[in-house]
Amino acid sequence: MKTRGRPSTKAAKEAPEAPVSSEPKVQLGPEVANPPQLFVLPDNISKDARIVSLENPRSANEDRYVVCPEGGFYEFTKVAAPRTTPRSWLLSSEDSNTVDNGHEESKDKFSTNGYVMRNASLFVATPVDSLFFVLPALAPVSASKGDEPSKKLFLSGEDYLDKVSTASPHLKSLLRENSLRISIEKRMACVCDTVEAGDETMYRLSEEKMLQELLKKARKMAKKGLPASMEEKFTRKVLEVPIMSIRREESSLNEEDAPADTLNTQSTTTSTDSAATSFSEASTAATLCSEDITDTQLKTPAVRPITAPEGVVDLLRLRTALFFICSKYISPHLSETIKKLLVTSASIVDFAPLETHLAHLAKLRQEALAARQLSDHSRKRGLEEDEDGEGRAEKKRKKEEEEKRKKAGESRGVKNLKKVNVAGMKKMSDFFKKK
């Protein structure tokens, strides 16, 4: 007789799970020590254009520029994504990709050849005036601070270009093109006094003509409008209306009529007696910090109106643009010369109204600061007096309570002894003195 076997009560051992691989399906190649960069060049650039190292006219250090015999000079402006939102570039050639139309055959033909850049930054070639590269040769800096400036002599364009080639050797081969040499000499003629010596033109730097040419550039920059960051930092903040006085009003309400978290209200009043009192002194340095901006702020930005006497805002924008050009493309010793020329009577633009108004605003700012400090001192003194009065009252109250406790603990005999007349009697301590 056959019997059916009992199933085993032991739990069957489970088959081990296959380990999950954390490696990506597509393996990226190793990072390159010198990764390629992404450049955006002009459309009309010639085939003879080259990327060369030239002396920076401001810092005298070597920087990369694009020099085109027909188009002139171009500088590289870096455009990068903010660090808070990292981005990357995927670069590939046109023949390395095939359009996916949904069929399996086209998917198999897809090629993965390409390059991924870690930083989503690119360099845009923007035109720069060739005049800035010749100015260091037209007005060389003295060897030491104590030396007197060298005498200005008329020299040929060839002599100045040789000085430029000595500072930037890579430019020597490109200066063989007549078109590039002619364009540079035309720019030199705009800032120099010229004389004809036979068949050759001689040049000598004129500081007045240089200032006039730079002001022309500054007007063009200010006419199109300053960037938003410069407008906010160097125009609106400089022309901000100062708070001349502060008035504080305290409102006290009963607990039944007002909530428990009722706060003291403060109201500020500004003095607007005349248009001359509507500015604050210029701020020369400011630190820009990145803040989180909500969608509401992006949709409806709060733009404060600028109230100023006629012409003052335009003068401020013009001077800001001029100082920006000097700080970017002009050597420091030439920048100081330009600033000195602005305050002389021979200046093309009269900045006296702007300077007078800023000086008046500086005085108003000092008065507002002094009034604010006086208000803070008086408020602090009032708080200290209130604290002193409360302290004295508390001490008096504690002293009275202590006297009441002592009187309550005295016996009837002690109270009667205090009423005895002790006039003319010796004290007990007199009997224990040394003879």
In a domain, 411, yes or no: no
E-state strands within 5-80: 39-40, 50-55, 62-68, 72-79
Same domain, yes or no, for 270 and 350? yes
Same domain, yes or no, for 388 and 359? yes
Same domain, yes or no, for 130 and 49? yes
Distance CA 226, CA 298 (A): 20
Instruction: Dig out the tokens for 218 from the structure.
Output: 């500054």
Same domain, yes or no, for 85 and 128? yes
- Comparing 386 with 215, which gets the higher pLDDT? 215
Same domain, yes or no, for 243 and 364? yes
- Comparing 346 with 184, which gets the higher pLDDT? 184
pLDDT at 409: 76
Same domain, yes or no, for 77 and 225? no
In a domain, 31, yes or no: no
**To which residue do tokens 């006219």 refer?**
57
pLDDT at 37: 84
In a domain, 297, yes or no: no
Share of the chain above pLDDT 70, in %: 67
Q: Is the pLDDT of residue 7 over 80?
A: no
In a domain, 433, yes or no: no
Q: Is the pLDDT of residue 327 over 50?
A: yes
Mean pLDDT of 330-357: 83
Domain of 358? Answer: 207-251+265-283+307-402
Distance CA 35, CA 115 (A): 10
In a domain, 50, yes or no: yes
DSSP-derived letter for residue 306 is P
Same domain, yes or no, for 227 and 373? yes
pLDDT at 21: 62
For residue range 128-158, list pLDDT tens digits in order.
999 999 999 998 886 555 555 567 788 999 9
* Dihedral angle, C-alpha 389, 251, 378, 371, nearest 10 °: 180
For residue range 413-429, list pLDDT tens digits in order.
777 777 778 777 877 77
Q: Is the pLDDT of residue 187 over 60?
A: yes
Count the domains in the chain.
Answer: 2
pLDDT-derived band at 82, boundaries 50, 70, 90: confident
Same domain, yes or no, for 60 and 159? yes
For residue range 278-296, list pLDDT tens digits in order.
333 333 333 333 333 334 3
Name the amino acid, one letter, at 272.
T
Contact 75, 68 (CB under 8 A): no
For residue range 390-409, list pLDDT tens digits in order.
777 888 888 888 888 877 77
Same domain, yes or no, for 164 and 222? no
- Comparing 264 with 429, which gets the higher pLDDT? 429
In a domain, 77, yes or no: yes
pLDDT at 214: 94
Query: Can you list the pairs that 219-222 forms with residues at least 24 positions away whose Cβ atoms lie under 8 Å?
Result: 219/318, 219/321, 221/321, 221/324, 221/325, 222/314, 222/317, 222/318, 222/320, 222/321
What's the CATH code of the domain at 89? Answer: 2.20.25.530
Contact 246, 369 (CB under 8 A): no
Distance CA 136, CA 335 (A): 12
For residue range 211-240, list pLDDT tens digits in order.
999 999 999 999 888 888 888 888 877 777
Mean pLDDT of 186-215: 92
Same domain, yes or no, for 124 and 160? yes
- Comparing 12 with 184, which gets the higher pLDDT? 184
In a domain, 188, yes or no: yes
Same domain, yes or no, for 240 and 164? no
In a domain, 378, yes or no: yes
Same domain, yes or no, for 199 and 337? no
386 contact partners, CB below 8 Å, separation of at least 6 = none
pLDDT at 303: 62
What is each CA distance from 11 to 4, 7, 8, 14, in whole angstroms? 20, 11, 8, 9
Q: Is the pLDDT of residue 105 over 80?
A: no
Mean pLDDT of 104-122: 64
Distance CA 307, CA 228 (A): 18
